[in-house]
Amino acid sequence: MTLYSLEEAQYLKDFYSPKVVNQIADKKLALRITSVEIEEIKKDFYDIICKGYFVNNTSIVPKVSIQSIFKSMDLDSPEVALQRRNL
């Protein structure tokens, strides 16, 4: 798992939110993303978490790392996004 500084995490949240919110991230599971959030994993180290729901089962609220989401949606990796930002 890759963790980020708060500055990097905020940039990644802003970068991915318009690209993934209200989109289906995993067509097999029908996972629709409803929000992108920053979650502190350990002191001063953060991950980017996508929350959503399974279209066929709205009672389950999955939390999935952006590391899993960007691949299924054919987006730039967080590392590439940060390199472009020079963070």
Coil, strand, or helix at residue 30? coil
If DSSP codes are grouped into helix, strand and coil, which group holds residue 3?
coil
Task: Choose between 83 and 28: higher pLDDT.
Answer: 83
What's the pTM? 0.81
Q: What one-letter code names the amino acid at 51?
A: K
- CB within 8 A of 83, min separation 6: which ones? none
**22-71: per-residue pLDDT in tens?**
999 877 778 899 999 999 999 999 999 999 988 887 677 788 888 888 88
Helix (H, G, I), strand (E, B) or coil at 74: coil
What sign does the CA torsion over 20, 74, 86, 45 have? positive
Pick from 23, 35, 36, 28: which is nearest to 73 by CA? 23
